[in-house]
Structure 1
């Protein structure tokens, strides 16, 4: 299984990512041929060799006359939806722009459809994002893993004025994802770079793999304490499992004298306290007593706390705990627009392959209540609306 690891010791931006892909072997002609299918003109894309602290790298330059073209998210999404590029490429580019648009909508407290892109709506950013989608599709790693992204302090100048670092859009995009503090006072992670990483990768350490190629994409600055580069490591993973893994703790006990009302309340308490799953199963126990097996799946660091809940709020005198490896599909939750309103869908990925999507129950139930339509109808609308944006491959 091929794996691309993003070594983000100096952060990530759109042009750094694109330069890294080309340095890994994606022909520039593949990128430019795909970009020519966009209704965007007046620019020229070229690559040049450069050095950052004596390390050779690929620098991508977008030459254009346009300075700040303010396009809306709706305009860019419609432009991409009508583009005759590969559907997988278009789907990825649309998801990256949507992720940025959702962050801007949250920051500026306005609907997604009203979001105006400034820097991200300019030609160079469109080229970076769509070019990244084209290049990644050509490279086709089965899995992309990204190191935690470095967040810095200071300020950055943009169309809205001077903003604190990390940029508000970057922080919103990276909510829920691993980051590390960095002593630098310049922007290392741009919103575009954050959105690309968040959309294509899971975050973690360098996996065990046989290394094949290393590529370097250069940023614009010369940093004083490190080379301003994004490093990509492409290789073959030793683990045949292509999905994600983690560690979970399974808590279990048998109860033959529990009040069913207490058990219902205990399930709610355990889930609220952070349990990943809680289940009851019937048992036939000693002395011919009917009983219940309580099983709780949790993150290992929560096991002791949840065991204490079980011991204090049930009739259990002891709780067994087993820590094990869990194989799982990567999950993402995204919003889609239906004719009746917005709903959330859960996306399940095997590596980079979307194998299943499922409307989110609570979101669909809320829309059914608001619209007066049936829940099955809302589910069907959500599934149809998600098909174009998130094509299932498995």
Structure 2
């Protein structure tokens, strides 16, 4: 994964919007611009316009600006059925996008739709996007999804968000800032009031931040070497404050050891049968983002036999995995914590008859381990070990 060994710290100095995030990331990772632009072109009709990444100076700070250049003044508007969540999701799923882009973009879009559905008390498939229905918003979701997919494996932390204030004009009339959908998406996150009014965090920006952090405000910053920074400028000019979102990129790999953070879930279950637990665990292990799952036997309250489930999960998938645990088991609560992990660089080797995993140790030597599934046909333990030794030379 390209993002393995990287930590991204996002600081919404002026605020957070889709275009600001994309501009900041492409400033820090200019080699991703070609991928992101190609993905945008795959969903953006030529007659509407094109995406442009330009240099900008915000309050004396060199930054980048990402925007849609229209072929005509009204070309960016979308209407009717094409503004529904289902229609926009189908457009992303059927476009010729880079690997992982559609999945990440749809996940971001889903967070917005889910919040809008809850705010307006309607089914999610009946959600009509108003403020984010135009082509520039779809462009932002697509480009953000492309960047998130390209940097899969990176860990993310987030500075407190600017609260803003006042009212914002929407299709539903004037709404308080932060907009209800934005506040719902980022519920539980840290905010601060810097005295600057207005909408500082948009629903699209909120959904991107929630996707990157797995819907969890818990985020540690592992030690690392600062590699670079990138700044994405918003359209608004603020007096005495740079309207930028800044990303600081850290290398967390030290002496060949990478670092990242995982969410750990744990619960104790004493009222499910072995068959029920086995079925639940098999399904949980298949979920994207589940790094490891362990079961431990013990004795709980009232001297009952109890099984403890412990899961290690990628932060960006933590919310979905937690919901699935509640669906598949009888537990009424999950303990949640953030754990730091040290990782040796490794790679898969499929060159021989048995698949192998190679790992580089800090001392410089290499270790090789055969994939256990490839030894399943061995008739005896001796045969299994003999095959493994022969392949691990």
TM-score bucket of the superposed structures, by smaller chain: 0.5 to 0.7
Contact 1:39 1:79 in 2 (8 A): no
Cross-structure match for 1:338: none
Aligned pair in 2 of structure 1 residues 19, 332: CA closer, same or farther (>3 Å)? same
Counterpart mapping for 1:30-69 below 5 A = 30-38=35-43, 40-41=45-46, 42-64=48-70, 65-69=74-78
Cross-structure match for 2:361: none
Provide the C-alpha distance between the structure 2 equivalents of 1:147 and 1:124, rounded to a whole number of angstroms.
26
Cross-structure match for 1:101: 113
Q: Which runs of 5+ in 2 are unaligned?
A: 267-296, 332-393
Alignment equivalent of 2:299, drawn from 274, 281, 287: 281
**Cα offset for 1:190?**
0.6
Counterpart mapping for 1:184-203 below 5 A = 184-201=196-213, 203=217
Provide the C-alpha distance between the structure 2 equivalents of 1:126 and 1:136, rounded to a whole number of angstroms.
15
1:223 aligns with 2:238: yes
**Cα offset for 1:187?**
1.2
Alignment equivalent of 1:244, drawn from 227, 246, 262: 262
Provide the C-alpha distance between the structure 1 equivalents of 2:261 and 2:43, rounded to a whole number of angstroms.
33
SS in 1 for 2:96: coil
TM-score (norm 1): 0.63
**Cα offset for 1:86?**
3.1
Cross-structure match for 2:95: 83
Provide the C-alpha distance between the structure 2 equivalents of 1:96 and 1:196, rounded to a whole number of angstroms.
6
SS in 1 for 2:68: strand
Cross-structure match for 1:24: 28
Provide the C-alpha distance between the structure 2 equivalents of 1:98 and 1:140, rounded to a whole number of angstroms.
19
Counterpart mapping for 1:1-394 below 5 A = 1-27=5-31, 28-38=33-43, 40-41=45-46, 42-64=48-70, 65-70=74-79, 71-140=83-152, 142-201=154-213, 203=217, 204=219, 206-237=221-252, 240-244=258-262, 281=299, 329-330=314-315, 332-334=318-320, 346=322, 360-361=327-328
Provide the C-alpha distance between the structure 1 equivalents of 2:109 and 2:150, rounded to a whole number of angstroms.
20
Q: Which runs of 5+ in 1 are unaligned?
A: 249-278, 284-290, 298-325, 335-344, 348-356, 365-394
Contact 1:280 1:292 in 2 (8 A): no
Aligned pair in 2 of structure 1 residues 45, 39: CA closer, same or farther (>3 Å)? closer
Provide the C-alpha distance between the structure 2 equivalents of 1:148 and 1:134, rounded to a whole number of angstroms.
25
Contact 2:263 2:318 in 1 (8 A): no
SS in 1 for 2:38: helix
Contact 2:108 2:145 in 1 (8 A): no
Contact 2:40 2:51 in 1 (8 A): no
Provide the C-alpha distance between the structure 2 equivalents of 1:282 and 1:120, rounded to a whole number of angstroms.
50
Provide the C-alpha distance between the structure 1 equivalents of 2:330 and 2:45, rounded to a whole number of angstroms.
37
Provide the C-alpha distance between the structure 1 equivalents of 2:246 and 2:167, rounded to a whole number of angstroms.
25
**Cα offset for 1:214?**
0.6
SS in 2 for 1:185: coil
**Cα offset for 1:180?**
3.0
**Cα offset for 1:24?**
0.8
Cross-structure match for 1:386: none
Number of aligned positions between the proteins: 283
RMSD: 3.5
**Cα offset for 1:89?**
1.1
- Residues 167-194 of structure 1 show CA distances to partners (whole Å, capped at 9, x for unaligned) of 1110111123333344221111111000
Aligned pair in 2 of structure 1 residues 20, 124: CA closer, same or farther (>3 Å)? same
Of Structure 1 and Structure 2, the greater strand share is in: 1
